[in-house]
Amino acid sequence: MVVSKTKISALSLFRLKVLSISLSLLIGFFLVGCGSENIDEENEYKVEGVKISFFDADLDFTSSTIEPIGKVNITDIAKKLGISNAVYAASGKSVILDNYDLTENVNFYAVQDVKEIATRGDLDSVRSGLNGKYILVKDIELNDVAWSPIGQFTGIFNGNFHKITGLWTDTTSNQIGFFSTISDAKIKNLGIEIAKGKQLKGGQYVGGIAGRMSGSSSIVNSYVAGDLTGSNAAGGIVGEIANTASIKNSYSAGSIKGTERVGGIVGHLTNTASVKYTYSTADVTGSSNYVGGIVGGTDNGGKASLENSYSKGAVSGSSSVGGVVGWGNGIIKNNAAINPSIKGTGSNINRVVGQNPNVVSGNIARSGLNSGSSINFGDNNIYSGVGKEDGAFFLEETYKDLGWEFGESDAKPWKIDENSSLPYFYWEDL
């Protein structure tokens, strides 16, 4: 038996490593029913085909390659894949060991409630099951009709490294995004592409994935590309994040426009919410205050945090404008401002943090950004960070000195092509 751990599927703009998935045919008990009374003591079943796909409790796929002839011990496979709570699928169906504890604490559980999403109609059906579990099985194009955001989502949505393209709106309503709001939800492995020649446009709280994000919600391994416009709290991925919600291993590209609290990833970051391991190549423009390359503004006693992220887009606004954060009353650590330009018409325009830093340390910025009448671009201060020559931003060592993790996992997400690229994520296939 050959066992390999790998992600399922791949998409071009997501720049993922392509994996051809072929689910095996399991015979016997799996195709006729469920229940522990049907399970033999050795937990071995005959397999025809080449692959069984396992899911962890959050609907991540892990694929195990199986020799095509003979019996396999599914408990042993799950152990080797490091899955403690798992389900698995064969022949395109969810097959079930219903709450039966096999051995070694590997608990296979029922997943009849997991729904595959393959069409726009399937996406619309999420509106009637806002606490459900969903997984994309193909790319979906939304270009013809303006999108009405899905309401307050509290479930699990695994994009499975597929993308939803052609998303657009033209409204003055608040809380605009693929989801209007997410609360205690898990969003992962999802690409959102705004329709070319159109915008995701709304009033307050506008973000490509969600207008607002709260509770213990998380967004991981996801991206938004395209043009987005809002008023207060506009962000490339989420307009406003509150409570203990978090974004990790995600990026934005395109352009972000708004009035105040405008950011490449998040417009407004509050409470103890966090953004870590993100980057934005989007140009960010605010007509008022609190504009940043990653986050427009952080507040609430300095408890929200932005760490290990970089901005590469041009940033402009009125007052409190920064390459990384506009209003910085939070924890701003180990970030990089690689912006081509940072401009403001008012005061407090800085390379890293525009105004009101609380805990700010370890940040770096382009030394080339060193002039401006109202700009504090001098090296080695908390507003402007430590200046680095442009070539340093193409070296892994620069970021390792800031504590960034390089590897091939969610915990060590960064990769870099020495001397030729800025950092990118391991799930991106350049």
The CATH code of the domain that includes 207 is: 2.160.20.110
Residue 12 domain-assigned (yes or no): no
- Domain stops at, among 86, 108, 130: 108
Residue 139 domain-assigned (yes or no): yes
Q: What mean pLDDT comes out for the span 391-420? A: 97
Residue 13 domain-assigned (yes or no): no
Confidence band, pLDDT 50/70/90 cuts, at residue 79: low
What pLDDT, on the 0 to 100 scale, is given for residue 311? Answer: 98
What pLDDT, on the 0 to 100 scale, is given for residue 356? Answer: 82
Residue 360 domain-assigned (yes or no): yes
Residue 146 domain-assigned (yes or no): yes
Q: Is the domain of 66 the same as that of 118?
A: no
Pairing of strands 424-425, 414-415: antiparallel
* Residue whose token pair is 């709290």: 233
Helix, strand and coil in the chain, % to nearest 5: 10, 40, 50
Confidence band, pLDDT 50/70/90 cuts, at residue 113: low
- Domain stops at, among 87, 108, 129: 108
pLDDT 10s digits, 340-384: 999 999 989 999 999 887 888 999 999 887 544 445 566 667 889
Model pTM?
Answer: 0.79
Return d(Cα 426, Cα 251) in angstroms, integer. 12
What pLDDT, on the 0 to 100 scale, is given for residue 111? Answer: 37
Q: Which of 8-22, 105-119, 359-373 has the least mean pLDDT? A: 8-22
Confidence check: pLDDT of 91 > 50? no
Three-state SS at 231: coil
Three-state SS at 124: helix
In this structure, the chain runs to a length of 430
- Tell me, what DSSP letter sits at residue 183? E
Q: Is the domain of 32 the same as that of 145?
A: no
Residue 17 domain-assigned (yes or no): no
Q: Is the domain of 210 the same as that of 67?
A: no
- Domain stops at, among 108, 126, 159: 108
Q: Which of 351, 344, 349, 348 is nearest to 366 (CA)?
A: 351
110 exposure class (CB count in 10 Å sphere: 0-12, 13-18, 19+):
middle
Are 354 and 325 in contact by the 8 Å Cβ rule? The answer is: yes
What pLDDT, on the 0 to 100 scale, is given for residue 210? Answer: 98
Residue 3 domain-assigned (yes or no): no
Count structural domains, the chain.
2
Q: Which of 275, 227, 209 is nearest to 247 (CA)?
A: 275
Q: Is the domain of 90 the same as that of 136?
A: no
Helix or strand holding residue 122 (H, E): helix 120-125
CA atoms within 13 A on the CB side of 38: 14
Could you tell me how far CA 383 lies from the centroid of its own chain?
27
Q: Which residues contact 54 (CB under 8 A, 6 or more apart)?
A: 61, 62, 63, 64, 77, 78, 81, 83, 86, 87, 88
Radius of gyration of the chain (CA): 23
Q: Is the domain of 318 the same as that of 412?
A: yes
Q: Is the domain of 126 the same as that of 205?
A: yes
Are 157 and 187 in contact by the 8 Å Cβ rule? The answer is: yes
Q: Is the domain of 56 the same as that of 123?
A: no
pLDDT 10s digits, 24-77: 222 222 322 232 233 333 444 443 333 444 555 566 554 444 443 344 455 565
* Residues spanned by the domain of 366: 114-425
What pLDDT, on the 0 to 100 scale, is given for residue 302? Answer: 78
What pLDDT, on the 0 to 100 scale, is given for residue 45? Answer: 42
Three-state SS at 399: helix
Q: Is the domain of 181 the same as that of 248?
A: yes
Residue 350 domain-assigned (yes or no): yes
Q: Is the domain of 233 the same as that of 295?
A: yes
